Structure 1
Amino acid sequence: MSLNGLGEPSGTQQPPTLFPVPEPVPPRPSRRRVPRPPEASGDSADSGAGTGDPGAGAAGADSGGGPTSVRAPARSQPVDVDEAGRQLVFFGAETVEPTVADLAGLLAGPGEVVRMGGTARLSMVVDAPWRVHVLVAELAQRGIAASWEPTEDERHAVRTSYTRMLKPLAVAWLRGATKRPPAGFHLNGRRLRLWLAAAGEVDLPGCRLSLGAADQECWDAVGRALAAVGLAGELLDPAAGGPAYLITGRTRLRRLAELVGERPPTAPPPTWP
């Protein structure tokens, strides 16, 4: 079944009750540059210069009839903040625009990519309807159509269409038919957000990020990428609920929450850090 960017069917067929139509995503508040105010000063020349009027400081300097040096105003330090006044995290999901390269976050988890000629297709199996909505919407933001279908084990297979847009991702990640992270692979907020949406589980006091069961050659590189962004985790084997990386500790979980950004509207509150 094809879905549009809101997770709704593209035709007239209504979604099953398992897939309630999500509320529209509210527009993200735009960030603004908030300069720190210059230090207060009683010097009338500095006050004039701080107004941005190039003639104000000069007038104050000439009023005494003699040459007077004018101090440059203190340089303000702009800080990126959102509308709530919260400072944005460097590399966080809210600080960059979505790109196709972000889909590497799905491949860090259980996502798969295959090539066909000059095109490629991305697919993954998820365990909850809300994940389908989030992933289809995220893919649509990047101009990639996706569809879903139920699996025999009561999960949901999400797959994109074959597209040239995904070929660079497939070339970077495939060695023959084997998935392997490319040299220099790294994680950021956008990639972690996709990984969490597809295969993350908040299981306090930690968060598990599932891996592909047949992707052993990826696990070490993915673990190093997690550690590089302050999210060093414990590799769990299948007997312990894996394969997955378990991220624990108040500082790391707060860091994860900052990186992945706000909870998607369709995600139940307990599923997001």
Structure 2
Amino acid sequence: MSLSGLGDTGKAQPPPALFPAPESDTPTPGRRRGGAPRNGPSQHGSPVNGPAPGDDAGRQLVFFGADAAEPAVADLAGLLAGPAEVVRMGGTARLSVRVDAAWRVHVLVAELASRGLAASWEPIEGERHAVRTSYTRVLKPLAAAWLNGSTKRPPAAFHLTGRRLRLWLAAAGTPEPPDCYLLRLGPDDQECWESIGVALAAAGLAGTLVGPAEGGPAYRIAGRRRLARLAELVGGPPPAAPVDAWPARQ
């Protein structure tokens, strides 16, 4: 059962049911993701506002935001900051992640395709889905940076950019009304959690670690100011994402 990361959906197995089938999320040169100008309405009917004139912090956030650079394979480190896994086989590697909603499958497959990576998916237990790339040499450097033997751990220079955060949100971000957002972690990645928290703080998103007994593991980003910063960094919601599942500009 597969959904090609290059937009070629197999006839035998359609993608997960979604409302309605989304358009491609691959960025178009000269346009913002979602096709709306920064100060115009998004396709979801919500304003997408730029930083206020003279707002130096806002300009800095845009510079490091998801729209500040073209998609790159290195962005997949954002998935590994969350619950994704990477494994090696010979001179190749494969990345996989389990998600809890069909819209996440559509977003991730499109994001992987925009980086030249074919992806497949399959339903798993509990109405969840597994999304995975093919084994490819392209992912070998990412695996080498993140694996210590078979154990996942962030590299020493790991940091979070807007595009990395956008992928993390697409795979495992959950709003917690009224003023919180959860970024879920890998349940078996305890060795990663502290370093991920440091990277979040360095990005201006200091969070509280929520343990498994409290509904985690996850980092809780709390407060309107941090949520506004998160929204600025990750950009507007992908076409397939429910608007209320994505952090909104304040």
Under TM normalisation by the shorter chain, which class is it? Answer: 0.7 to 0.9
Aligned to 2:14: 15
Which of the numbers 118, 122, 127 marks the counterpart of 1:149?
122
Which of the numbers 238, 243, 247 marks the counterpart of 1:269?
243
Are residues 151 and 27 of structure 1, via their aligned partners in 2, closer, same or farther at CA, if it must alter by over 3 Å?
A: closer
Aligned to 2:215: 241
Contact 2:181–2:221 (CA under 8 A) maintained in structure 1 = yes
Aligned to 1:133: 106
Aligned to 1:86: 50
Aligned to 2:151: 178
Which structure 1 residue ranges, 5 or more long, are not aligned?
Answer: 33-80
What is the rounded CA distance, in whole Å, between the counterparts of 1:127 and 1:9 in structure 2? 23
Contact 1:29–1:83 (CA under 8 A) maintained in structure 2 = no
Contact 2:24–2:110 (CA under 8 A) maintained in structure 1 = no
What is the rounded CA distance, in whole Å, between the counterparts of 2:14 and 2:31 in structure 1? 35
Are residues 145 and 233 of structure 1, via their aligned partners in 2, closer, same or farther at CA, if it must alter by over 3 Å?
A: same
Indicate yes or no: 2:164 matched with 1:191. yes
The structural deviation recorded for 1:27 is: 5.8
The structural deviation recorded for 1:13 is: 3.3
Find the residue that maps to 1:98 and give its secondary structure.
coil
The structural deviation recorded for 1:225 is: 0.2
Find the residue that maps to 2:23 and give its secondary structure.
coil
The structural deviation recorded for 1:260 is: 0.3
The structural deviation recorded for 1:265 is: 0.6
What TM-score, normalized by structure 1, do the two folds share? 0.77
Aligned to 2:91: 118
Deviations 1:78-132 (A, max 9, x none): xxx9575835612100111110000000000000000000000000100000000
Answer with 1 or 2: which has the greater Rg: 1
What is the rounded CA distance, in whole Å, between the counterparts of 2:143 and 2:86 in structure 1? 6
Bigger CA drift: 152-161 or 136-145?
152-161
What is the rounded CA distance, in whole Å, between the counterparts of 2:16 and 2:130 in structure 1? 17
Which structure 2 residue ranges, 5 or more long, are not aligned?
Answer: 41-48, 52-58
By relative contact order (CA 8 Å, sep 6+), the higher-ranking structure is 2
Find the residue that maps to 2:154 and give its secondary structure.
coil
Aligned to 2:76: 103
The structural deviation recorded for 1:10 is: 2.6
Find the residue that maps to 1:213 and give its secondary structure.
coil
The structural deviation recorded for 1:211 is: 0.3
Find runs of 4+ consecutive structure 1 residues off by over 6 angstroms.
none
Aligned to 1:260: 234
What is the rounded CA distance, in whole Å, between the counterparts of 2:72 and 2:27 in structure 1? 18
What TM-score, normalized by structure 2, do the two folds share? 0.83
Q: Identity over aligned residues, as a percent?
A: 68
What is the rounded CA distance, in whole Å, between the counterparts of 1:31 and 1:21 in structure 2? 21
Aligned to 2:45: none
